[in-house]
């Protein structure tokens, strides 16, 4: 069985990895720049954003321990696409295949929510992240220079397969078919 699972966030999850999340090494790869944020603002801010539907976030759990976040944001209804962010807050947990496994599980959740395409952006020198995303099947879309960070950014995308129905599919023409409500 996989050591990785995803769970709905609680304050305790964020508190568990808060210190490591803002280590210089993690911020260098995950953020545009350093910013000061208290545990309360960090944890409650993210839970509020999730409750308001601005983001869909899950906690990455490895062998029973909360180690980071995986997040979908900027959902575009017209194209059914969203932007993915992932941060494993403990550098000791990098490079063990946990990110790969977390993204696999999370994209399955997104597909069941009707998301058809996932976009992400990562620094061009973030070889670990690029390898991980490439292995999952993300393709390079474009590379651009971000003056605010002084670094190049790679934008990638992944098309998600719609989930397979587990029962009978009722299509237009079938007397039981009803038009979807908008
Ligand atoms: C990016 C991140 C989520 C990747 O997760 P991870 O668990 O470290 O990556 P994985 O171990 O799943 O990587 C999968 C593949 O990447 C490659 N890889 C792993 N470590 C690597 C390294 N140090 N250098 C180059 N490639 C590496 C391997 O090919 C690996 O495949 P393998 O299982 O066949 O060895 C994680 O490292 C992280 O959170 N980093 C800090 C924040 C960050 O960079 N976020 C991304 C911003 S979008």
26-72 tens-digit pLDDT: 999 999 888 899 999 999 999 999 999 999 999 999 999 999 999 99
Helices first, then strands: H and E counts in the chain? 5, 7
Report the separation in Å between the CA atom of 168 and the middle of ligand 1, taken as the mean of its atom positions. Answer: 39
Please, what sign has the CA dihedral across residues 130, 137, 54, 61?
negative
Q: Which CATH number fits domain 4-159: 3.30.70.260, 3.40.630.30, 1.10.3720.10, 3.30.930.10?
A: 3.40.630.30
Contacts of 173 (CB under 8 A, 6+ apart): none
Report the separation in Å between the CA atom of 110 and the middle of ligand 1, taken as the mean of its atom positions. Answer: 21
pLDDT of residue 57: 98
Q: Per residue in 110-119, pLDDT tens?
A: 999 999 999 9
pTM of the entire structure?
0.90
The residue ranges of every structural domain in the chain are 4-159
Tokens of 16: 């568990």
Maximum alpha-carbon separation in the chain: 61
pLDDT of residue 163: 81
Which of 156, 168, 148, 178 shows the shortest CA–CA distance to 83? 156
**Probe ligand 1: pick from 32, 99, 107, 135, max atoms within 8 Å of CB?**
99
């Amino acid at each position: 069985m996989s050591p990785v699972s995803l769970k709905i966030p609680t304050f305790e999850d964020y508190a568990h990895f808060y210190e490591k999340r803002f280590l210089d090494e993690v911020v260098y790869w995950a953020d545009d720049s350093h910013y000061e944020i208290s545990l309360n603002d960090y944890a409650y801010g993210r839970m509020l954003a999730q409750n308001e539907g601005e983001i869909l976030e899950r906690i990455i759990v490895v062998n029973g321990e909360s180690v980071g976040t995986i997040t979908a944001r900027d959902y575009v209804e017209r194209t059914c696409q969203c932007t993915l962010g992932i941060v494993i807050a403990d550098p000791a947990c990098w490079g063990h295949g946990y990110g790969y496994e977390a993204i696999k599980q999370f994209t399955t959740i997104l597909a069941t929510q009707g998301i058809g395409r996932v976009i992400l952006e990562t620094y061009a020198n973030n070889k670990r992240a690029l390898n991980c995303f490439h292995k999952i099947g993300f393709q390079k879309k474009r590379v651009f220079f971000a003056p605010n960070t002084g670094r190049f950014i790679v934008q990638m995308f992944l098309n998600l397969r719609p989930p397979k129905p587990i029962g009978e599919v009722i299509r237009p023409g079938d007397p039981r078919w009803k038009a979807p409500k908008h």
